Amino acid sequence: VQLQASGGGLVQPGGSLRLSCVASEHTVNNYDMAWFRQGPGKEREFVAAFRWNNRMAYYADSVKGRFTISRDSAKNTVYLQMNNLKPEDTAVYYCASRRTGILSTLRSATAYAHWGQGTQVTVSS
């Protein structure tokens, strides 16, 4: 399974970016799709996920109201729309997938079998 993430870049505080993650060898259907990030000197952390079982989106408190995860089944792609970006959002963003599973592990990086290569997001003036 391959996940290809793209869309990162340099943006000023308050700006927006949209990340994309294209899945090959499996569809986004029947899979939970998630975004994680890892900032400089930090642990990898959960950002957002779309859970297939109940078709619901879940977010970290730090991005709720600013980020939106969505998927396009026809394009086999998951997106992360990021608005009102802050310097603390600076990180490498990774997309991840797993066969749809239990809710309690949705936010855990160890629960995901497949990972993309990461795309750098830098928020700075």
Predicted confidence at residue 41, as pLDDT, reads 92
Q: How far apart are CA 55 and CA 50, in angstroms?
A: 7
Mean pLDDT of all residues in 1-28: 92
Predicted confidence at residue 57, as pLDDT, reads 97
Residue 112: pLDDT band (50, 70, 90) is very high
> What residues contact 22, with CB distance under 8 A and at least 6 apart?
3, 4, 6, 75, 76, 77
Mean pLDDT of all residues in 95-109: 93
Burial class (CB in 10 A: 0-12, 13-18, 19+), 104: exposed
**Structure tokens, 41:** 């000197």
Predicted confidence at residue 81, as pLDDT, reads 98
Predicted confidence at residue 25, as pLDDT, reads 74
Q: Which residue has the higher pLDDT, 29 or 91?
A: 91
The order of strands in the sheet holding 2-6 is: 2-6, 17-24, 77-82, 67-72
Residue 29: pLDDT band (50, 70, 90) is confident
Q: How far apart are CA 92 and CA 122, in angstroms?
A: 8
